[in-house]
Structure 1
Amino acid sequence: MHDRLKVFCGSANRPLARRICDYLGIELGKINIGRFPDNEISLKIEEDVRGRDVFLVQPTCPPVNEHIMELLIMIDSFRRASAQRITAVVPYYGYARQDRKDEGRVPITAKLVANLITEAGCDRVLCLDLHAAQIQGFFDVPVDHLYAVPVLHHYIEKLELDPDELAIVSPDEGRIKLALKLQRRLGGTLAVIDKRRSSATETDQVSIIGGPVDGKIAIMFDDMISTGGSVVGAARVLHASGARDIRVCVTHGLFCNNALERMRQSPLVQIVATDSVPLPNAENHEGFLTQLSVAPLLGEAIKRIHRNESVSFLFNTKISER
């Protein structure tokens, strides 16, 4: 495996790429990424990749445009360097919110970015917790869509919480299926927050459907936190309904602007996020913010893709950290 497999990364999340390589037992590939005087991206691959199976780790997290452009230039570079196969490992897929035309004169940016990645020369895509599962169909190349649920589920299991005191909460109607699946595994009651969007950046949390949550440990599961507005609103509704302990587990912790400070001032007692994107100022929020690594999950997927083995095996499997 080590003779043909190569893992490289852009500047978006080098620590995650290193952890993936540690799991695989290989060295991170050498690549030089810089800037020209006018701030255009310059790039050079510093080792031979002819005939290799190449995996490029690059979440398109903020600054989104910079990281997407880096990914496209990397793909083009490796295609021109005669790599046998190029797989884009995109733990966080940016521009995913606009995945359909829900009103007139708006773009479908999720499809646009998929077209760009495909046309750049990518042969396969590996991603984690897409904002909407149908985005897989926007690509004209194979897509392996993983979920961070096994990682988050394993962490909650280790807390050994009493199922009778547990309430699994979906922050909106779009995550009900995931919340139901977790409620079946962890036990407890199931509740859904009635969320109504008033604008692209503002939402209102009106009430709780299901439950009850009175006196219970409420755990919300979501795919991403950006400004934290929805999570804070949901936490306040849960607190008003009597929840005694409120936590949130999220795959992508973007935490834009002052999101973490905003959430610390809410009834939330803990945020659990993966390292799919770099967590800003995580050291300043020790005890409140817990980081879990998805490197073993992504590393195992990379190994299985390289060996032409099943990846669906990972959906319900607990991958232990090395």
Structure 2
Amino acid sequence: MSETNQFDNILPVAPLKIAALDSCIDFAKKVNKHLVKFRRTANKQHRDNIYFQEYAQDSYLVKCSCPRFGTGEAKGRYEESVRGSDLFIMVDVCNYSITYKVCGHENHMSPDDHYQDLKRMISAATGKAHRINVVVPFLYEGRQHKRSNRESLDCAIALQELRNMGVNNIITFDAHDPRVQNAIPLNGFDNFQPPYQFIKALLRTEPELKVDNEHLMIIAPDEGAMERAVYFSNVLGIDLGMFYKRRDYSTIINGKNPIVAHEFLGDSLVGKDVIIIDDMISSGGSMLDVAKQMKERGAEHVYVCCTFGLFTDGFEKFDDYYEKGFITRIVTTNLNYRSPELLSKPYYTEADMTKFLARIIDTLNHDFSADSINTPTEKIRKLIAKQSR
């Protein structure tokens, strides 16, 4: 059955509505366009049925806002009814480009500010929407997912807070550690991965890339990236290499034990292209070090695929490594805010996730199993087969 008509004769849970905060409104508009296209042809035979009257719409976005007072305090507000709807609230907690005034001073919104706005929109819909789903592509406080000594456990607390506010499902991508969902074992928590979008974007911009064991190797830059890298390696049928970080546990700098060296485990890289897989590029120091070592070990081209391109320390080092030939291309998704400067870089490629997220929302709105969209193995193999012709 094709993707377009897989929900024929299946009732949605409730009328679909999407509330996108300012942090991701442009992204949400693209998702909305895909949803409108999906439903233009699906379930056409039931349009006269009262249960399908709100099925095909010109738009599923609802007008909402979080206006602020002069003190910086805010409130969440819907400008149209969400009663009885299957409401999906979308937020990008990494969008630092949005500002607001506090007593005349301009502040950039932090992840904490975005999270507070998310709670405001949930509060404004609680008791009215049939079901509340939260789409947080970059899981808020996902990097603080476990406790060491006397530390806070922010991600678990946030998930429990959302549950207590009436959220039914939480949708995220490439969570730093998906086991944090154990904090809310009775709630829906869906963690999706973008491997198909990575390969599609990479092959589009690098058509000469040969995906076979003789010419390509997958690299995990650390222990945490092993599961992602193993999946890529198995699906593509190519070898896997791994770095592990040797740290100085006698010293703490910026809250972390500093990395002394990256040690490599794997076969020879001489003459091979490599794809480095990870969940995010933060400052990028570790990723750049791994890329440099790949080249020093004889790799031909180094491609970096990360779900979230944060680039918290800017692009100077990446520009330098690109000019020196240590990296050939960086692929990240459009799930988080990316500055215009990044989009203009010659080494940057975007993996578009809007159609994938639209399919996820459509699937959950029908209360249908997400397995069909969360296992892209066959799609990846068809893509590789088409490219190799």
Say whether the fold is shared (TM-score over 0.5).
Answer: yes
Given the superposition, is the C-alpha separation of residues 3 and 311 from structure 1 closer, same or farther in structure 2, using an over 3 Å criterion? closer
| Bigger Rg over Cα | 2
Question: 191-200 or 219-228, which moves further after superposition?
Answer: 191-200
Given the superposition, is the C-alpha separation of residues 283 and 252 from structure 1 closer, same or farther in structure 2, using an over 3 Å criterion? closer
Given the superposition, is the C-alpha separation of residues 87 and 268 from structure 1 closer, same or farther in structure 2, using an over 3 Å criterion? same
1: CA distance, partners of 2:261 / 2:157: 31
Residues 223 and 250, structure 1, Cα contact 8 Å, conserved in 2: yes
The percentage of counterpart residues that share the same residue type is: 26
Alignment map for 1:32-71 (pairs within 5 Å): 32-61=65-94, 62=96, 63-71=110-118
Residues 14 and 365, structure 2, Cα contact 8 Å, conserved in 1: no
Offset from partner CA, 1:267-309 (integer Å, 9 cap, x none): 1121100011011234553321111111111111110111011
Offset from partner CA, 1:1-54 (integer Å, 9 cap, x none): 698100111122212111111110134211122211101123210111111110
Aligned residue pairs: how many?
Answer: 316
Residues 201 and 350, structure 2, Cα contact 8 Å, conserved in 1: no
Is 1:143 equivalent to 2:227 in the alignment? no
Alignment map for 1:241-252 (pairs within 5 Å): 241-252=297-308
Offset from partner CA, 1:180-232 (integer Å, 9 cap, x none): 22112223321111223455465344221113212211110111111111111
Residues 167 and 211, structure 1, Cα contact 8 Å, conserved in 2: no
Which residue in the other structure is 1:179 paired with? Answer: 229
Given the superposition, is the C-alpha separation of residues 186 and 109 from structure 1 closer, same or farther in structure 2, using an over 3 Å criterion? same
Is 1:7 equivalent to 2:7 in the alignment? no
Which residue in the other structure is 1:306 paired with? Answer: 365
2: CA distance, partners of 1:261 / 1:121: 44
Which residue in the other structure is 1:89 paired with? Answer: 135
Task: Give the alignment partner of residue 17 of structure 1, picking from 24, 28, 48.
Answer: 28
Where in structure 2 are there 5+ consecutive unaligned residues?
1-11, 37-58, 97-109, 381-389
Q: Compare the two structures and name the one with the higher strand fraction.
A: 1
Residues 59 and 93, structure 1, Cα contact 8 Å, conserved in 2: no
Residues 64 and 77, structure 2, Cα contact 8 Å, conserved in 1: yes
Which residue in the other structure is 2:175 paired with? Answer: 130
Where in structure 1 are there 5+ consecutive unaligned residues?
none
Give the letter for the 2:176 counterpart.
Answer: H
Given the superposition, is the C-alpha separation of residues 94 and 3 from structure 1 closer, same or farther in structure 2, using an over 3 Å criterion? closer
Which residue in the other structure is 2:62 paired with? Answer: 29
Residues 122 and 132, structure 2, Cα contact 8 Å, conserved in 1: yes
Is 1:272 equivalent to 2:331 in the alignment? yes
Task: Give the alignment partner of residue 72 of structure 1, picking from 119, 122, 138.
Answer: 119
2:67 is paired with a residue whose SS is: strand
What do you get for the CA RMSD once the two structures are aligned? Answer: 2.1
Question: 299-308 or 160-169, which moves further after superposition?
Answer: 160-169
